[in-house]
Amino acid sequence: MSETASHAGLRLLRNAEVYAPRPLGRQHLLLGGGKILWMGAQAPELPQAVLADSIDLQGRRLIPGLIDGHVHVTGGGGEAGFRTRVPAPTLSRYTRAGVTSVVGLLGTDDLARSTRELVAAVYALREEGLNAWGYCGGYHLPPATLTGSVRGDVVFIEPLIGAGEVAISDHRSSQPTLDELLRLASEAHVAGLMSGKAGIVHLHLGDGARGLELVRQALERSELPARVFNPTHVNRRKALFEEALELARRGCWIDLTAFPVEEGEDAWSADEALQRYLDSGAPPERVTVSSDAGGCLPCFDADGRVCGMDVGESGALLDSLNAVLARGVALERALPAYTLNPAQLLRLDGKGRIGVGADADLVTLDERGAAHDVFIGGVAHLRDGAIVRHGQFETPARPTGASAPIPPQH
């Protein structure tokens, strides 16, 4: 049955082991209109005429769709010449990894890549069925914008929910001063108040020795709420992670990056950092994990030149979640960092949880912890581990001369 028909009718998911993120045991869920309409321990008796689909999940774990809050939806890179510009990830690169919502941003290259291009990429992902938003700006100040100001972008450009990723403590940054950071944060905060959006500044942290000193000064010398300052990559150095823990206790949300960490490196992997965070006594709701998908993960020599690079993947989120579970952390304790916590920080109503009235963004996990089924707004993108909904330019090959159809809208 086509997904167009399924979206028009009701979909019943039976025999799911639900983590909402808290464990709810074996449940049945009725989906319709993009929402979870009903959930209960006893399967409802419904006339077949109203059911577009009924799926027996056979006791697989059902979790909220993952929210990847740091994605280069236009592609990243470019630090070692134009040939190192990373291509934009395609739809299934997210969905096969259990990601149902992304927040796009610009990084080092906020010149050749623009806020205009970012917004277009967000709209394209939405048309393909993914939940997507973005930040205006990039590494540098003054920030790249569409309207001429951060406040104007967040208030008037619907998909833009804050500013980022603004670089600090990094040789690639514009070396912002405290006054510049406070002006930017005040613009984002007031825009959030006016629009009901997140209104945060997502801060890229480099390897610089100054670490989070600029954020500490901002908290001490202004009236801005701590939640406005959202540092990411804070597990890239062990000392930086300790600084971030203290900021979380002061009210900031901190973001861990699921990047590869070599043995003996002065960094924490996302799974080890998350376990350490949860065991530290810091507020458990103020930590998130993101992938840096589509972004360049470079290393630099003493002169600041790229000496090697990797590319971030959204699949790193599920990998890190499974790694933290292997450390003995319970799923219901680890899961909020990938679902509920980013939804609350980003003020994405209906996301990050499973319950009646919530959005039907759902993922089932197989016995290995891989995504087995993925539903976004109740529409299947992955079924039994196979992609059933492709992006416009990743549709399986067709005979010569056959035209590629435009994916159905919903």
Is 72 flagged in the annotation as binding? yes
Is 7 flagged in the annotation as binding? no
CA 114 to chain centre: 20
End-to-end CA separation in angstroms for the chain? 16
CA distances from residue 169 to 203, 208, 305, 325 in whole angstroms, order as listed: 10, 4, 17, 32
Q: Which two tokens stand for residue 301?
A: 């020599």
Is 202 flagged in the annotation as binding? no
What three-state secondary structure class fits 108? coil
Beta-carbon neighbour count of residue 38 at 10 Å? 15
d(CA 229, CA 239): 19
Beta-carbon neighbour count of residue 43 at 10 Å? 16
Catalytic (active site) residue 292: yes
Q: Residues 292, 319, 359, 361: which is the catalytic one?
A: 292
**What is the rounded (10 degree) CA torsion for 311, 317, 319, 322?**
170
376 strand-pairing partners: 379
What three-state secondary structure class fits 119? helix
d(CA 264, CA 359): 42
d(CA 65, CA 101): 7
- Which amino acid is residue 19, in one-letter code? Y
Is 70 flagged in the annotation as binding? yes
Is 381 flagged in the annotation as binding? no
Q: Is the peptide bond before 23 cis (omega within 30 degrees of 0)?
A: no
Q: Residues within the annotated binding site?
A: 70, 72, 204, 233, 292
Q: Residues within the annotated binding site for Zn(2+)?
A: 70, 72, 204, 233, 292
Any idea which residues carry the catalytic annotation? 292
